[in-house]
Structure 1
């Protein structure tokens, strides 16, 4: 199955916490790019992961040539043309940087956006975005603004929680619904990135049914007693027995991969050969789990199952 995101990486501080080193990654068949990545290190403000660390918010590069991206030649050979770095902070301190790498082609419909109130404290607008070949949808998206509570970015801002919406081709559900339907976009995932009360950054991931972000996307929330995690929302390209499994599954802190994210606040990538892999997910090959942290507390975990 084709997926919109081609490479996923996690970069973590080294022992001195002065540089970022390779943590883990999903590369599919791109073995050469994986080999070029595993030995890399990034200082503060160096390369795409280092820039996200220094700027304290998501950073996007839609062209690698003549940029600060350090793996340009390897990325070009692998057909990768866009990178998005998402820093995960607890207060002032960086825990990790999650990277998504995509490539332009006619067969992959979707978009990744960074929304912020950097131009107007009361309105969100697209600070940066990757839209692949969806040029008309990109022009429209860059022109609109959304107040708190309006549209998916505004709803994420108002709630401080990730939101997953399927079938977004209706204006009453999705402000750009008509244009999304024309572009073939069907699903939107919104994730709050920082807990700075004044400056807001929200990531939105939009994908088509033919080229989803992942086989399954889920949002996990701690219960009121902060004792266990349960799946509050989930989307799957294919309706199968997974939905029923996840509806009844609860996970304790420290238990399996998701419990480890809750315990440490660190994003993880797992596979079916990983000792920390959740056995309940063993019919899926790999998973990325990203924590949503506010005020030093974990509010949710967003998982991408590949």
Structure 2
């Protein structure tokens, strides 16, 4: 990602939270709310049954769900969200085979300067179609996306489908590999992260996070491969790709880029198979928060994707 982004600059996503099943309901396991204390308090006092609210809907339907407006919808925290300036949300269920693990929910605000994209792509009739997405003020890019389809292997979306792995793509506006490069460049989108969202029954979903310099989705992205890195019974993961929007690397290039189960936030996800959100002093390398999301393939943990704000 070209340029250096100040730590105080706003991000496209304002809230990230993890909901886990407990005695038949979803309860809050962790969240990053910034200064939105009242919304955080409402969330801590809320739980969801299967099919109830946005997290419960993603659980029941076993698919990512985009909600671009809360008024009159099934969203349970509408008044608190409105008071916090939150206007849209995306819920991503995490399954290991048929075993349900958690739901990651991210919430965004709105505004004329808010540029970015969170998209859900679904396979229908042998190609990937846009199921839905939130784009902020990137209206033309949204229109282009609604009229674009991806066969397996084409672009970021089709590449994730073919490889069944997360992929980072740089220089979206000038890269020939990004099918929507022209409109991405006009919108100011610079970096794309695509990841598979495995679901029971073999349905194909791809989630894309497209970041702009002015309102980045995150200031740092990491992809960790957990498929082959083991020492005895201890699970390890290797950092296979990453991109940082500020000066200074998050690792020492003289050291192996490895982590082990239960070491740091990525290690905790590696050990538990459940997404995690950490904030403030818990977040690594001076960032205010970090989200780590596991990807399970064939019932086994294959990757952990992390983004830092």
* Shorter-chain TM-score tier: over 0.9
Of the three residues 295, 298, 303, the one matched with 1:292 is 295
Give the Cα separation in 1 of the matches to 2:45 and 2:179: 43
Q: Which residue of 1 aligns with 2:209?
A: 205
Q: Which residue of 1 aligns with 2:245?
A: 237
Shift in Å at residue 197 of structure 1? 6.9
Q: Which residue of 2 aligns with 1:75?
A: 81
SS of equivalent residue, structure 1 residue 131: strand
Tell me, yes or no, if structure 1 residue 189 matches structure 2 residue 193. yes
**Aligned 8 A contact 2:95 2:200 in 1:** no
CA RMSD of aligned residues (A): 1.7
Of the three residues 85, 107, 110, the one matched with 2:91 is 85
Alignment of 1:118-197 (within 5 A): 119-120=124-125, 122-170=126-174, 172-196=176-200
Which ranges of structure 2 fall in alignment gaps of 5 or more residues?
1-8
Matched residue pairs, number? 297
**Aligned 8 A contact 1:223 1:230 in 2:** no
Tell me, yes or no, if structure 1 residue 283 matches structure 2 residue 286. yes
**67 and 246 in structure 1: CA distance in 2 versus 1, 3 angstrom threshold:** farther
**Aligned 8 A contact 2:113 2:137 in 1:** no
**Aligned 8 A contact 2:98 2:200 in 1:** no
Of the three residues 251, 254, 270, the one matched with 1:262 is 270
Shift in Å at residue 246 of structure 1? 9.5
Give the Cα separation in 2 of the matches to 1:239 and 1:223: 30
Q: Which residue of 2 aligns with 1:302?
A: 305
Q: Which residue of 2 aligns with 1:253?
A: 261
Shift in Å at residue 282 of structure 1? 3.9
Q: Which residue of 1 aligns with 2:6?
A: none
Give the Cα separation in 1 of the matches to 2:192 and 2:252: 22
Which ranges of structure 1 fall in alignment gaps of 5 or more residues?
none
Shift in Å at residue 133 of structure 1? 1.3
**169 and 63 in structure 1: CA distance in 2 versus 1, 3 angstrom threshold:** same
Cα deviation per residue 1:105-130 (whole Å; 9 max; x = unaligned)?
Answer: 1222101100011x32x100100111
Shift in Å at residue 99 of structure 1? 0.3
**Aligned 8 A contact 1:11 1:96 in 2:** yes
By relative contact order (CA 8 Å, sep 6+), the higher-ranking structure is: 2
Shift in Å at residue 272 of structure 1? 4.6
Shift in Å at residue 225 of structure 1? 4.2
SS of equivalent residue, structure 1 residue 116: strand
**7 and 245 in structure 1: CA distance in 2 versus 1, 3 angstrom threshold:** farther
Give the Cα separation in 1 of the matches to 2:46 and 2:266: 27
Q: Which residue of 1 aligns with 2:28?
A: 22
Shift in Å at residue 286 of structure 1? 2.1
**161 and 131 in structure 1: CA distance in 2 versus 1, 3 angstrom threshold:** same
Give the Cα separation in 1 of the matches to 2:82 and 2:289: 25
Give the Cα separation in 2 of the matches to 1:282 and 1:181: 30
Q: Which residue of 2 aligns with 1:35?
A: 41
Cα deviation per residue 1:144-188 (whole Å; 9 max; x = unaligned)?
Answer: 110010011100011110001111113622000011000111111
Give the Cα separation in 1 of the matches to 2:50 and 2:227: 36
